[in-house]
Chain A
């Protein structure tokens, strides 16, 4: 079983749609959680950290359920510029990050 699992997609959605990505992780000792965004042939960039209480940054909302070992990302009012691969990332406590394989989002006009 992979340490971090994501639906690879692609998710094809129209502009303005709301889309949700899910992620599960296997290591219950994981301490920190993040969503990164990766554009084609570029390095990953931090989108947001994920906190137990849930957190929101503009159109993006992240949630963490430690009991179910589940992380989610919700994007509201999708823009064309949101098209990218979204990586679920977990820090198991040894400082190196464990990446999911990513979920590809394509927002269409």
Chain B
């Protein structure tokens, strides 16, 4: 299957700092990438859809000024958590789809970034 990488895998930071997470599709081009967040014992929740060359689309309740998304190329999307607070501590996962094909929209996930804000 397609490979998606994510960096860093783990971040521990102080409250008030900003954290940037990178998501890369390694063997395909992705015009669209997705950012999810997962709190302990909960399901993945979509935060935003990242579109190459245009603004991201945020889900209801997700602050666009706090979670900055940049999709500068067909293989890279970044999520910056600005002025992080302890309640932002979570598992952040990106995903990407190869070009749409018959049979469904398979998405491949990065390994995730575990953010802990002290």
Contacts and interface: CB of A to CB of B under 8 A. Distances in A.
B8 interface: no
A95 B32 contact: yes
Contacts of A33: 104
Interface string A89-109: 001001111111110000000
B49 interface: yes
Contact of A44 (B1, B103, B104, B109): B109
A42 interface: yes
Interface residues of B, number: 26
Contact of A95 (B36, B49, B111, B112): B49
B104 A42 contact: no
Interface size class of A (residues with CB under 8 A): 20 to 34
The 8 nearest A-B residue pairs measured at CB: A32-B104, A101-B43, A43-B109, A99-B44, A99-B43, A43-B112, A91-B105, A96-B46
A87 interface: yes
